[in-house]
A and B are shown apart, each in its own frame.
Chain A
Amino acid sequence: MSCNMKFSVNYSEPPAIRIENLHKAFGANQVLRGFNLSVWKGENLAVMGKSGSGKSVLIKCIIGLETIDRGTLNVLGENIPDLHQKKLDNLRSEIGFQFQGSALYDSMTVRENLEFPLRRHPDKMGKNVSADELVHAALEDVGLLHAIDRMPAELSGGMKKRIALARTLIMQPKIILYDEPTSGLDPVTGKEISYLINEIQQRHHTASIIITHDLACAKITSNRMVILHEGKNYAEGSYDVLAASTDTPVKAFFT
């Protein structure tokens, strides 16, 4: 698959994620200062920014792992800060979250890792589909069916990322949030993961946010990029547009 992937996005539809004037601070450290963003179904949006700029905090706010201080955070038509735990849990079943370190459960096999979210949301299983079939299908999607009975400790970094992706996909999410999907991987495996993100996009037609430092990953996966600088969306556009920018903070990411 080439990096010039075709994205079919209907911008006239309401966005899957709508963020307006988002503020988030940890004590005196104001991380997000009026961040705005909209992501539509069918697009891959890469968010780049310096370490500690609040990229991971942003997606943790989207899934409700962090509370926001101020602003609007609307996901699939629901206002996240207003949701009760039960509703938030239901909404979370529509959102996949790929953690930076994969976050596979150490004490469970790959199969059990994939079954875990299914057991929590049995409604995600079709009437005539068993959990085992879904686990097999998700592992086939990421090309790791042979690792089904292995423990996470027996897997390489790249395999862990793929399994974590399979665990996300098994819930058939409408939105996928990737936190540094290629961090800690060699360039070749990093590219494999990036292409896999594109394949998933094509197959599942999700709205995705990809937090990354990796220019190659951003180039391969995104149809749109946002530069997060000083707590705000400093610049926005396609990879080629931003790469050609002469603005110093933007240029700093591409040199």
Chain B
Amino acid sequence: MRYFREVFFPPYEFQEFLKQCYYIGNKSFTLVSITGFIMGIVLTLQTRPTLIEFGAASWMPSMVGIAIVREIGPVLTALICAGKVGSGIGAELASMKVTEQIDAMEVSGTNPFKYLVITRITATLIMIPVLVILSDIIALFGSALVEYIKGGVTFELYFSKVFEYLDFSDLIPSVTKSFFFGFAIGLVGCYKGYTSTKGTAGVGRTANEAVVISSMLVFIIDFMAVLVADIFYEL
């Protein structure tokens, strides 16, 4: 609640917010890209024989596209970010607390909550959807590559098939839930770090708890998002 009370009021820590956006985006991009690419390849390789058996190989691009954009891309990216970003934020803030850096910040006339917590939560809120979109694109390229090598399907044809069955209504729930994933990851990391206790031993425990709780929240949010999206699809 304190986040919502303070996020809209000055002073705004833009510089720290941009720095956090850069760290989250830049440091996770490689990992998210590699896993997205591999996931696109694996998904296509695993599904291909079955679809060929049923004579439905032409459905491959649209099926993989929908699976990646609606579900696999957002959840996979969020889980990776929960591990990398969530634990990083938790450990960093816990370590700052243990070494009195948060107190030092307060003493120097800075609101540590605004400087450390609001910037990080807002940065994850913004950057995780961006990473999800990038991961989706890279996963689709991985899938297209397999189709090109195995079935001689050109990239142009592959993507025209993907977008034939993928529309804006697939993208909206996917991106929307990514914002919630980002918020949850930032919130859990910051909360666990900011309220960390028991000295240096607490730092490791905080990082661990941040990953476990935010990963769990990703699945819960995903489940709820699917239920809500399903209502809209039926309308």
- Chain A residues with a Cβ under 8 A of chain B: 60, 63, 65, 85, 89-90, 92-93, 95, 97, 99-101, 103-107, 116-117, 120-121, 171
In the bound complex, what is the Cα–Cα distance between A132 and B104 (angstroms)?
Answer: 21
Q: Distance (Å) between the CB of A234 and the closest chain B CB?
A: 27
Chain A binder among B78-86, B106-114, B133-141, B224-232:
B106-114
Q: Distance (Å) between the CB of B158 and the closest chain A CB?
A: 43
In the bound complex, what is the Cα–Cα distance between A101 and B110 (angstroms)?
Answer: 19
Q: Which residues of B from 90 to 144 have beta carbons under 8 Å from A?
A: 92, 95-96, 99-101, 103-111
Of A90, A95, A99, A121, the residue contacting B104 (CB under 8 A) is A99
Q: A101-B100, A120-B108 are known contacts; what are 15 more A-B pairs with Cβ within 8 Å? A: A65-B103, A65-B107, A85-B111, A92-B108, A93-B108, A103-B99, A103-B101, A103-B104, A105-B96, A105-B101, A106-B96, A106-B101, A116-B108, A116-B110, A121-B108
- Report yes or no: A117 in contact with B109, Cβ–Cβ below 8 A: yes
A124's closest neighbor in chain B, by CB?
B109
Collect the chain B residues with CB atoms within 8 Å of residue A116's CB. 105, 108, 110
6 tightest CB-CB pairs across the interface, nearest first? A103-B104, A117-B108, A89-B109, A103-B100, A120-B109, A99-B100
Of B105, B108, B109, B110, the residue contacting A90 (CB under 8 A) is B109
In the bound complex, what is the Cα–Cα distance between A171 and B107 (angstroms)?
Answer: 12
Q: A106-B95, A106-B96 are in contact. Are A121 and B109 (CB under 8 A)?
A: yes
- Residue picked from B101, B106, B109, most chain A C-beta under 10 Å: B109
Collect the chain B residues with CB atoms within 8 Å of residue A117's CB. 108-109
- Report yes or no: A103 in contact with B109, Cβ–Cβ below 8 A: no
Q: Distance (Å) between the CB of B114 and the closest chain A CB?
A: 11
Q: Distance (Å) between the CB of B85 and the closest chain A CB?
A: 15
In the bound complex, what is the Cα–Cα distance between A152 and B100 (angstroms)?
Answer: 14
A108's closest neighbor in chain B, by CB?
B101
- Report yes or no: B109 in contact with A97, Cβ–Cβ below 8 A: no
In the bound complex, what is the Cα–Cα distance between A106 and B116 (angstroms)?
Answer: 13
Q: Jot down 19 A-B pairs with beta carbons below 8 A, ordered by A.
A: A63-B107, A89-B109, A90-B109, A92-B107, A92-B109, A93-B108, A97-B104, A97-B107, A100-B100, A103-B99, A103-B103, A105-B96, A105-B104, A106-B101, A107-B92, A116-B108, A120-B109, A120-B110, A121-B108
